[in-house]
Amino acid sequence: MKRKRGETNKNTQPKDQKYMMESNVKDYYNSDNLRQNIETAFIKAGKPPVNLELRDLSPIDQLHTGGARASLDLFKKIHLSSDAVVLDAGCGIGGSARLLAQQVNCRVMGVDLAERFIEAATFLTRCTRLDHMVTFQQGSILDLPFEDHTFDAVLCQHILMNIEDKSKAVKEFFRVLKPEGKLLLHEITRGDHDRLLFPVPWAGKADISFLETWESLSALFERQGFDIRFSSNETRAAWGWWEKVKAVSQKKGPQPNFIGPGLIFGKNASSFGNNMHTNFKKNAICLMEAVLEKS
């Protein structure tokens, strides 16, 4: 699957600027001792991380808006056979990759910029006995380490908001997809209100948050050669989902050793429920789902 020797991948951004931006994003997600902290938390909770089921990981595994249900609904929008090979772009700790492999019985490759996420993803996949179906590799969305026409589908779930050079990312998705391959999109987009309340799951502050409107994104995909087969604005459902998260977090209060988002995002996680609910409510952000096909 790796890019052939001698192939290059030119970027529209200067090399130093691209490196600095990716370094800032990586620093945000690269929590120290993440794998060990997850293991310790499970042991303290009386669940040694061996022979775990996906439901055991649910408090930390599906931290995107809508959780596992949103992922499952997204997977159902295309037909994937058991011999399909799927790329989870920006896989985090691998929750969606594991869920997809389990539900469809297909092979999934996850790639993420943050080494600590890849370490944790590999560990948790081994703990859930899915490592024969799901593998992970550290890498950049802007320079995917795979050959052309490798994947039947690409899952792009809550990742584009961290990427400034979206044109380059879209070109890479197009390149690694097989002809008629599908891009599954589940993304936060920019709304009408300019002031975003931070921190949010993808950024502690505005320097690594790069939201675009759906109109801008869809035009970018179409210029690259994607056909939009389906799109849906899921903002109202997202608002309701974060309202529930906000209520739960306010009821429980700070829990340093709790198996939950704080293990992944640290102290910022305690603000996510209120901030995301507010951002959706005042239309600072929207949630879009889409299925695109490489024409």
Q: What are the structural domains of the chain? A: 15-294 (3.40.50.150)
Confidence tier at 23 by pLDDT (50, 70, 90): confident
> What's the confidence (pLDDT) of residue 11?
45
> What's the confidence (pLDDT) of residue 248?
84
Q: Is the pLDDT of residue 46 over 60?
A: yes
Please state whether beta strands 285-294 and 226-233 pair in parallel, antiparallel, or not at all (unpaired).
antiparallel
Closest by CA to 125, choosing from 60, 54, 59, is: 54
User: Of 209 and 2, which is predicted with more confidence?
Assistant: 209
> What's the confidence (pLDDT) of residue 257?
54
Q: Is the pLDDT of residue 283 over 50?
A: yes
For residue 22, give the H/E element and its range.
helix 15-29
Q: Is the pLDDT of residue 32 over 90?
A: no
> What's the confidence (pLDDT) of residue 193?
83
The region of weakest confidence among 45-49, 217-221, 274-278 is 45-49
CA angle 62, 151, 213 (to 5 degrees): 55
The region of weakest confidence among 14-28, 83-97, 121-135, 160-174 is 14-28
Mean pLDDT of the chain: 91
Confidence tier at 72 by pLDDT (50, 70, 90): very high
| β-sheet with 226-233: strand ranges across | 134-138, 107-112, 85-89, 151-157, 177-190, 285-294, 226-233
| Interacting residues of 130 by C-beta distance below 8 A, sequence separation 6+ | 98, 101, 102
Q: Is the pLDDT of residue 4 over 80?
A: no
The beta strands (E) that lie in 124-258 are given as 134-138, 151-157, 177-190, 226-233
- Are the C-beta atoms of 154 and 181 separated by less than 8 Å? yes
> What's the confidence (pLDDT) of residue 12?
47
- Would you call the peptide bond into 254 cis, given omega within 30 degrees of 0 as the criterion? no
